[in-house]
Amino acid sequence: MTLITDTVNRSADTEAPLLVTLAERWSPRGYDANAVIDDSTLTTVLEAARWAPSAANMQPARFIVTRRGSAGFTTIHDSLTGFNKAWADSASVLIANVADATMKPDQDNPWASYDLGQAVAHLSIQAQHEGIHTHQMGGFDAAALATAFGLGGKQVVVSVIALGMLADVATLSPEVLERESTPRTRKPLGELLLAND
């Protein structure tokens, strides 16, 4: 494999033209450990999540937002598993994405995780538009986070997302650089279309 020398451009090789922001979004692991996301930009990114659609406008998405250097950031970082722990500490912000499935006392909202995912998608695209990269993670200890942040009822941490600015590629560890150099691939569009009448 040829190791990359530029992490800025990892645009998707699309089968049809996309919004540039969508095509340019990818999930880096090499973040600048000194970069800070200002509060106004972070608010804009979170606002994008707030305006995502949701079933019956129930708005089940909740976010535990932590900035690098805070106790909460350390708690989320400590909960990460596998290789996630090796790179995510350089992110500027870690967010635990929580689905609150409360619909009625005795009834779950079956779309809570779907709607949370959609809110996180909006968040990640707004972030990309603001020049911030994102990387979602499923590798974390959800029970540890629920305890640490006092979640209750029908609140479940579904994913964690890192937000940050790209590091200079020359500073990346060999392990991160190898992963960043893996070609971005997708199944052919035709394979996704179970019907296309």
Ligand X SMILES: Cc1cc2nc3c(=O)[nH]c(=O)nc-3n(C[C@H](O)[C@H](O)[C@H](O)COP(=O)(O)O)c2cc1C
Contact positions toward ligand X, by CB under 6 A? 26-27, 84, 136-139, 159, 184
> Distance from CA of residue 188 to its chain's centroid?
24
Q: Min. distance of Cβ 105 from ligand X in angstroms? A: 29
Of 5 and 196, nearer to ligand X (C-beta) is: 5
Task: Give, as one character, the DSSP assignment of residue 59.
Answer: -
Q: Which residues pair with 65 in a beta bridge?
A: 95
Element (H, E) at 61: strand 61-67
Of 37 and 161, nearer to ligand X (C-beta) is: 161
Of 27 and 41, nearer to ligand X (C-beta) is: 27
Residue least distant from ligand X (Cβ)? 139
Of 43 and 155, nearer to ligand X (C-beta) is: 155
Q: Min. distance of Cβ 156 from ligand X in angstroms? A: 13
Q: Do residues 54 and 60 touch, judged by C-beta distance below 8 A?
A: yes
Q: Min. distance of Cβ 29 from ligand X in angstroms? A: 6
Of 55 and 125, nearer to ligand X (C-beta) is: 125
Please list, residue by residue across 69-105, b when 16 or more beta carbons sit within 10 angstroms of its beta carbon and e when fewer do.
Answer: eeebbebbbebbeeebeebbbbbbbbbbbbbbbebee
DSSP string over 161-194: EEEE-BPPGGGS-HHHHHHHTSPP----HHHH-S
Q: Min. distance of Cβ 107 from ligand X in angstroms? A: 25
Termini Cα distance of the chain: 40
